[in-house]
Amino acid sequence: MLLAIDIGNTNINFGIFQGNKIIKRFIIPTKDYSLRKLKRGLGRVEINNAIICSVVPQVTKILVKDLKKSLGKRPYIIGKDILVPIKNLYRIPRQVGQDRLVNAYAGVMLYGAPLIVVDFGTAVTFDAVSRNKEYLGGMILPGLGISLDALAERTALLPKIKLKRPQELIGRDTKSSILSGMVYGFAALTDDLVLRIRNKISKSAKVIGTGGNINLINKYCKRLDRIDRDLTLKGVSLIGGVYR
C-alpha cells in the first residue's frame, strides 16, 4: 500500500492506494495535525511507502518524523527525493509549488494535453500545460476563504460569514450579498480566465477542476470539463509508483 499525502495550508489530505486505486482517504486540518489523528486515520492498514507533496515546510518536518516513527521508514518528499517528471518552463523553475507541478502531471497522465488545471484551495491556482506536455505556468489568486476573511478584517461593517452556496444571485441582505459576490464572482472570474488561457495555449485545452472548494464552485462555472477532487493525491501516487 502507498500512502499519498498532500500538505496544504488549510488541510492535509491523505490517500491510501492499492495499485492505482484509492481505497481510503482522510483529512486532518493542517493546524490541528497530531500523531494521534494520523494513527486514527491510518487504522490497521499496512503501509509499504509514503510520499509527501507539501507547501508547508514546518508541517512536513513534523510529519516526516511521525511517519518514520509509525512506519519504520522515512517518507519520500516530492521536490527533494523525487522530481515531478514534467518539463518545467517557469522562468525560475524552483519557484513553482510542487502541488502545481503534481496537478499538471496528474492532469496530463489522466486526461491528456493541452490542459488547464484550476485548483480551488486556500489559494486559487490556474496551471497551463502545452500540447507537448510542458508546464507553461499559470496564475495565483487568493482563495474564497482568504477573500472572505480579508473582507471582514479590512472593513468596519461587513461581518465574517461561513462559506456556502448562495441562495440568490442578487443578495437582499449583507450576508447573502457577500456570498453571492464571492461565489458568482469567482465563477465568472474562472470562466473568463479559462477562456483567456485557452485562447493563448489552445482552444481545445481540457479544463480540470480540483481542490477543497471545487464542489461548491463547480455548479456556478461553465467552462470546467471535469472535476477531480483527488487529482493531487492521484498525481502523488502516479509519481511514486516506482517506489511501491
Is residue 166 in some structural domain?
Answer: yes
Q: Tell me the whole-structure pTM to 2 decimals.
A: 0.91
Is residue 189 in some structural domain?
Answer: yes
pLDDT at 155 over 60: yes
Amino acid letter at 91? R
- Known catalytic residue: 99? yes
Q: What's the whole-number average pLDDT of the chain?
A: 93
Q: Is the dihedral of CA 218, 224, 228, 234 positive or negative?
A: negative
On whether both 97 and 218 belong to a single domain, the answer is yes
Contact 117, 109 (CB under 8 A): no
On whether both 70 and 96 belong to a single domain, the answer is no
Residue numbers of the domain that contains 15: 2-81
pLDDT of residue 242: 54
Mean pLDDT of the 142-170 span? 91
Confidence of residue 166 (pLDDT cuts 50, 70, 90): very high
Q: Return the residue matching grid coordinates 492532469.
A: 107
On whether both 35 and 111 belong to a single domain, the answer is no
Confidence of residue 72 (pLDDT cuts 50, 70, 90): confident
Is residue 164 in some structural domain?
Answer: yes
The strands making up 21-29's β-sheet, listed across from edge to edge, are: 21-29, 11-18, 2-7, 49-54, 76-77
Confidence of residue 216 (pLDDT cuts 50, 70, 90): very high
Confidence of residue 158 (pLDDT cuts 50, 70, 90): confident
Mean pLDDT of the 165-186 span? 94
Contact 78, 84 (CB under 8 A): yes
Final residue before a domain boundary, out of 24, 58, 81: 81
Final residue before a domain boundary, out of 17, 50, 81: 81
On whether both 105 and 222 belong to a single domain, the answer is yes
Final residue before a domain boundary, out of 81, 107, 129: 81
Q: How many CB atoms lie within 10 A of CB 64?
A: 17
Active-site residue identified among 6, 32, 66, 99: 99
Mean pLDDT of the 151-175 span? 90
Is residue 242 in some structural domain?
Answer: no
Return the ∠ at Cα 236 (arms to 97 and 1), rounded to 5°.
150
Mean pLDDT of the 177-202 span? 96
pLDDT at 244 over 80: no
Mean pLDDT of the 207-218 span? 95
